[in-house]
Amino acid sequence: MAAPALFAEGVRAVLGAWAALQVAVENGFGGARGAEKAAWLAAALQDFFQRNADLEPEEVEDFLAEVMDNEFDTAVEDGSLAQVSRQLLTLFALAARGDAAAVGAAVARLGRPGPPLRAVEATATAEDTAEAMECGPPPDPDAWTLVQRRRK
């Protein structure tokens, strides 16, 4: 398998295993065409890597963060941007060497199911609820807020 095809396989696997992207698509954060945007992202990443030599992890993170923000209205703050960036850089290096076995092994590791998404969502919901309870009662929607002009 040629290097671009190996990398394409790796990109699809990484994006398929990326919970932040999958949640954004499943919940319609990218609009009605969220799945198409995710497929576009795979192609855009391949092009990004092909056009830019010696990418740094931060550059890949910035690219991913910008796409997630612009296309999926999602700010990824779970640390997964760094992890996905490292995975993509590793797969790109392996594919560039033509190491199909190593790419295949990496893709197989990504395919292993992690904790079920529902358990992750339940944990996040419980944490959000606990955090909200610490902040005090919700504001009264019928309350008035006085807004004044600042004096110079």
Q: Quote the tokens at residue 32.
A: 């009605």
Domain boundaries, the chain: 3-134
Residue with tokens 């700010």: 75
How deeply is 53 buried, as exposed, middle or buried, from its count of CB atoms within 10 A (0-12, 13-18, 19+)? Answer: exposed
Query: Shortest CA distance to 63 belongs to which of 55, 96, 120, 122?
Result: 55
Taking each continuous run of H as one helix and of E as one strand, the counts in the chain are 7, 0
Task: Write down the pLDDT at residue 3.
Answer: 82
Mean pLDDT of 125-150: 47
1-36 pLDDT, tens digit per residue, is 568 899 999 999 999 999 999 999 999 998 999 999
- Encode pLDDT of 58-109 as tens digits: 999 999 999 999 999 999 999 999 999 999 999 999 999 999 999 999 999 8
**Whole-angstrom distance, CA of residue 79 vs CA of residue 67:** 16
DSSP state of 78: S
114's tokens: 């992690």
Q: What is the pLDDT of residue 25?
A: 93
pTM beyond 0.75: the answer is no
* Residues whose CB is less than 8 angstroms from the CB of residue 1 and which lie 6 or more positions away in sequence, other chains included: 9, 100
| For residues 41-64, average pLDDT | 95
